[in-house]
């Protein structure tokens, strides 16, 4: 099963994003973005197993810029 990852620019934004999503009842985990897929150095991702589309909208609406998304197995 693939893991949906939402890529953000830093660990700080990933941690803020995790906390924000938690207030909406969406579970997420902070992960380092795999190097072979990271468009920038030192990016982090949020693994959001459910409601990934909704989570991305919440992040963008609340000032946490989403760099991209990927699926990781």
Domain hosting 8: range is 3-72
SS3 69: strand
> One digit per residue, pLDDT tens: the chain, 73 residues?
588 999 998 999 999 999 999 999 999 999 998 775 545 567 899 999 999 999 999 999 999 999 999 887 7
Q: What is the DSSP letter of 42?
A: T
DSSP string spanning 14-28? HHHHHHHHHHTT---
As for how many domains the chain has, the answer is: 1
- What is the CATH number for 37? 3.30.70.1510
For 63, residues 6+ apart whose C-beta sits below 8 A from its C-beta are none
pTM, to two decimals? 0.86
């Amino acid at each position: 099963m693939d893991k949906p990852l939402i890529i953000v620019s830093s660990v700080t934004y990933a941690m803020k994003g995790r906390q924000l999503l938690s207030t909406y009842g969406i579970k997420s985990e902070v992960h380092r973005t795999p190097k072979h897929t990271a468009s920038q150095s030192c990016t982090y991702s949020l693994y959001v197993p459910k409601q990934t589309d909704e989570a991305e909208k919440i992040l963008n609406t609340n000032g946490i810029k989403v760099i991209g998304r990927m699926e990781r197995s």
